[in-house]
Amino acid sequence: MMHGYGSMHIMHYGWIFQIVIILLLFLVIWWMMKGSGNFGFKCKNETALEILKKRLAKGEITQKEFHKLKKEIE
């Protein structure tokens, strides 16, 4: 009978699919980790002073606040 023929054909190539799935899993993990160990997220190591300067440039803080905070972090 042909009942088991189709499943035997798929089982014959099952090891190829397992290898492909394992390779895809490793590629996804590698892609996530390639961003300097941050799982793909690139973060800059900004100093507090650099952050203050950016906040001043954006207008989030005044010059008075900038100088006050600058003294606190130094």
- Side chain identity at residue 34, one-letter code: K
So what's the pLDDT on residue 23? Answer: 94
- Which regions of the chain are under pLDDT 70? 1-12, 35-44
So what's the pLDDT on residue 18? Answer: 87
Q: Where are the domains of the chain?
A: 1-43, 44-74
Residues 59, 56: Cα–Cα separation, whole Å? 5
- Side chain identity at residue 60, one-letter code: E
So what's the pLDDT on residue 60? Answer: 93
Distances (CA, A) of 19 to 6, 7, 11, 13: 21, 19, 14, 10
* Global confidence as pTM: 0.43
